[in-house]
Amino acid sequence: MNIPFSLALHGGAGTITRQLMTAGQEQQYLLALREALEIGYAVLRRGGSALDAVELTVRSLEDCPLFNAGKGAVFTHEGHHEMDAAIMDGRNRDAGAVTGVRTVQNPIRAARLVMEQTDHVLLAHPGADELARQHGLPTQPVEYFFTQHRYDQLQEALLEGRMRLDHSEPLPEPTPAAPLEEPIAFEEDPKKKMGTVGAVALDQHGNLAAATSTGGMTNKRYSRIGDSPIIGAGTFADNRTCAISCTGHGEFFLRAVVAHDISCLMEYRGLSLAEACRIVVHDKLAPMGGEGGLVAVDAAGNIALPFNSEGMYRASLSSADGVPYIGIYRD
């Protein structure tokens, strides 16, 4: 059987336009996407598993402060980091996920640990952090997750009494200022920037896998959890159909059960990957108010990178043509 092996990844979606990006910033993102793509594709090229490929791809993105995952995670309302991740094996639909972890250097490794070393699927902080420590996963002090860019965003928001989002100008309607010694309760418009990273892959053995990791929403409160660590919503893989990793306003992706819905359209209605993705992202999700996108690969190695936002950091490569694709904007 000569199956084209394929890899696709994303680094978040939202209001990402050329007008909001300098040439230097654009180059940094393109280089980071290319590096992650090369890391994951190298695993597939030498006959490695899709599971290893998506994990290593996501780890590369988690270690890059440009993206809202791992080292680049955004701050919560309380001023710390709460990170989520999930991974799924298309061979048998085994899955693992963590939510709210604070010390694990690579949350995607903790998610795989849950899948392979426990009888569970989803673990939350503090138990997920403790499991990672017990199994020797690298952990980091809070200073590791601090980045000047994220800190400056917080300080600008505090001083201006309004939000600053990663890839947009300050929102036009300011929130009434509060004393600086008290946290300002911003209500972030998540449609402006949906920061998540993820990868999907089909290996030479015909197996699919998906992985997703996120730092969540800037200024999130009350231990909010989005779609990324929820199997069937933000992450899904089944060898019979496809592998999916989503990025967007998590509440809508949760309500639409986006990743599993695409798989169901393929399995029960016999739709192609491209058509199933189009229906869910544009016909179902968008009318609900859900903005964002996803990366997908099917059991034949076909790749889809649909999104309904202004832009999505994305990259893909298949052995079918050997031509890497890297994109940021809609056009």
Residue-level pLDDT at 79 = 87
pLDDT value at residue 187: 34
pLDDT per residue as tens digits for the range 99-140: 999 999 999 999 999 999 999 999 999 999 999 999 999 999
Domain assignments of the chain as residue spans, ordered by start:
6-144+191-329
Task: Please report the sign of the dihedral spanned by the C-alpha atoms of residue 109, residue 229, residue 310, residue 173.
Answer: negative
Q: Which residue has the tokens 């972890």?
A: 101
The single-letter DSSP state of residue 310 is S
Bridge partners, residue 199, by sequence: 9, 211
Residues 70 and 106 sit within 8 Å (Cβ to Cβ): yes
Residues 38 and 315: beta-carbon distance below 8 Å: no
- Enter the tokens of residue 89: 């094996």
Per the CB < 8 A criterion, the answer to whether 301 and 8 are in contact is no
147 is in an annotated binding site: no
Of 177, 220, 213, 179, the C-alpha closest to 196 is: 213
Is 278 flagged in the annotation as binding?
no
Spell out the alpha helix ranges (H) of 76-147: 107-117, 127-134, 142-145
Distances 21 to 16, 188, 262, 305 between C-alpha atoms, Å: 8, 21, 32, 21
Cα angle for residues 209, 215, 218 (degrees, 5° grid): 145
Residues in the chain: 331
Task: Identify the CATH homologous superfamily for domain 6-144+191-329.
Answer: (Glycosyl)asparaginase (3.60.20.30)
* pLDDT in the model for residue 159: 66
The pLDDT of residue 170 is 35
Residue 151 has phi, psi (to 5 degrees) of -65, -40
* pLDDT at 19 (0 to 100): 87
| Residue 130 CB neighbour total at 10 angstroms | 13
The span from the CA of 3 to the CA of 37, in Å, is: 19
CA angle at residue 174 from 170 to 177, to 5 degrees? Answer: 120
Binding residue per annotation — 260? no
Q: Is 224 annotated as a binding residue?
A: yes
Please state, in angstroms and rounded to a whole number, the distance separating the CA atoms of residues 87 and 193. Answer: 23
Q: Was 227 annotated as part of a binding site?
A: yes
- Rounded-to-integer distance, Cα 132 and Cα 155, Å: 32
Q: What is the pLDDT of residue 204?
A: 97
Low-confidence ranges of the chain (pLDDT < 50): 161-192
Q: For residue 94, list its beta bridge partners.
A: 89
Angle formed at CA 84 by CA 81 and CA 87, multiple of 5 degrees: 155
* Residues that are catalytic: 196
Spatial separation of the C-alpha atoms in residues 98 and 123, rounded to whole Å: 5
Residue 247 annotated as lining a ligand binding site: yes
